[in-house]
Amino acid sequence: MNSDLKPKHRLIVDQVSKGISLKQALINAGYSPNQKSLESNITQLNKNDVFLGEIRRAKEKRIEEKILASQLDRDRLATEFYQYYQELRDSGDSSNALKALNHCKELMIEKQGMTKQIKHEHKISFENILNDMRKGIENKPMISIN
């Protein structure tokens, strides 16, 4: 932050950048809670270009930190879901493995900012199952017992 600010103003900038109202930040910094006094101080601060610039920079910094933190969390979660998917697949739990893989996919889509959805369908019909069974029966030698 800028060294041109008074220590109380630095405290106010820090609190406002965290989402605390200017009025409450003034009270927290030790200013009088009297309504007229608060309004007067708010007016003075809103005319102070250095103060307003510091608030803007502090808010931008907080937003950047939140974005970075959320990206790191998504990366970590995607990695953990993928590892979990591999463990479930190796243990034969295909249903839960597919769920873990879907969570991993969703996190990766969010991270990339993609809105494209991938649709995967299994086309199994009763006729196909019967044909596969017939093929299996036709290829096996029959044993007859008299």
Residue 98 lies in a domain: yes
Within a domain: 140: no
Q: pLDDT tens for residues 17-32?
A: 888 888 999 999 999 8
The alpha carbon of 123 is separated from its chain's Cα centroid by a whole number of angstroms, namely 34
In a domain, 123, yes or no: no
CA distances from 113 to 26, 73, 108, 116 (A): 39, 15, 8, 9
Q: Is 118 a member of any domain?
A: no
Calculate mean pLDDT across residues 123-132: 71
Q: Which domain holds residue 84?
A: 7-112
Is a pLDDT exceeding 80 seen at residue 108? no
pLDDT tens digits along 45-64: 989 999 988 988 888 888 77
Question: What does the buried/exposed string (b/e) look like for 71-81 if buried means 16 or more CB atoms within 10 Å of the residue's CB?
Answer: eeebeebbeeb
In the chain, the number of structural domains is 1
* pLDDT of residue 11 exceeding 80: yes
